[in-house]
Amino acid sequence: MVERILADRVREPSRTIGRGQASVNIALCKYWGKRNRELNLPFNSSLSVTLPGMDVETELLPGSGDRDEIELCGPGGTLPDDAADRVSGFLDLFRPRPDFRFRVRTRSSVPPAAGLASSAAAFASLVRALDDLFQWRLGPRELSILARLGSGSACRSMYRGVVIWHAGVRNDGMDSFAEPLNIGWEALRIGVVMISASRKGVGSRPGMDHTVETSPLFACWPETAERDLAAILGALEARDLERLGVAAECNALCMHATMIAARPPLVYWTAQTVTAMRTVWELRRAGCPVYFTIDAGPNLKLLYAAGETAAVRRAFGEIRECAPLAANE
């Protein structure tokens, strides 16, 4: 796949340093489970919103010595060894020669491995840095496919706004890519409720594999997710918060139900997570239209209109809020 995309492009660095930047994305219709692990091909298509201000910036340089140098600055400190090994393994796809080494300097405003899609933004920014260092000048579709090889949802972090990741049907993965959708919504707000910034005990990759292999509920997940995607996309186009919130919340809970039904169960929530969910439901009963989605981690992402910000802050205290679709209006 890499050979096909790069074709006859230069394989030696064309600059002394390459730079890339990408933001985390929050899936409103989730991706969970792979039909091909090596190529990160999903069972179902998914839909996300990119969160401006929650960014990862990467600088990529030719390195020296007998191994890659990988540095992370930002919340959560240094990368664990397995994460650094994963980055080096991905870079193996692009080395001009076997003894070529890279130096990777990453600055993140998002704690790693906390269920906030930090790896998606990290691999997306790394692919942009590779494209800059080698001056390939690849198109958006090709860049999203390369990012997908590092982390599935990284293909969605290549864009701003609403992004759809087409699952595709081909075995070679060339029809599995992300693309942006031109949807604006000035009033939509997403607020991140940080339950914990600690690294989760089970990463998304092994968590997906375990769910696919052992959960009796997983068989119905891909079809459910595809129906949810259509409902969520329609709600976004209509700017209908209630339809969007109900569909996104149900999609997230269905995904977690497949994990909880795995054997043994896989639970990313904490007691505080459940308390936060109950707070959302209590707010709705009191007339405040707020909804949540949650990825493979303990932290909630709230969906609500700009006019509800004060009520949400009273209920949850400090949250990290953004208007992800205002620029597309």
pLDDT digits (tens, 9 = 90+) for 220-265: 999 999 999 999 999 999 999 999 999 999 999 999 999 999 999 9
Residues 263-268: contacts with CB under 8 Å, at least 24 apart: 263/214, 263/215, 266/202, 266/207, 266/210, 266/211, 268/115, 268/200, 268/202, 268/207, 268/294, 268/296, 268/297, 268/298
The pTM score is 0.94
* Class of residue 92 by CB neighbours under 10 A (exposed 0-12, middle 13-18, buried 19+): exposed
Using one digit for the tens of pLDDT, what is the confidence trace for 95-138?
Answer: 999 999 999 999 988 766 544 558 899 999 999 999 999 999 99
Q: Which residue has the tokens 């049907």?
A: 169
Q: What is the mean pLDDT of residues 24-35?
A: 97
Instruction: Indicate the fold that domain 188-328 takes in CATH.
Output: Alpha-Beta Plaits (3.30.70)
Domain boundaries, the chain: 2-181, 188-328
CB 63 within 8 A of CB 99: no
C-alpha–C-alpha distance, residues 27 and 295, integer Å = 8
CATH of 2-181, one of 3.30.230.10, 1.10.3720.10, 3.40.30.10, 3.40.140.10: 3.30.230.10
User: What mean pLDDT value characterizes the chain?
Assistant: 94
The pair of structure tokens assigned to 78 is 């240094």
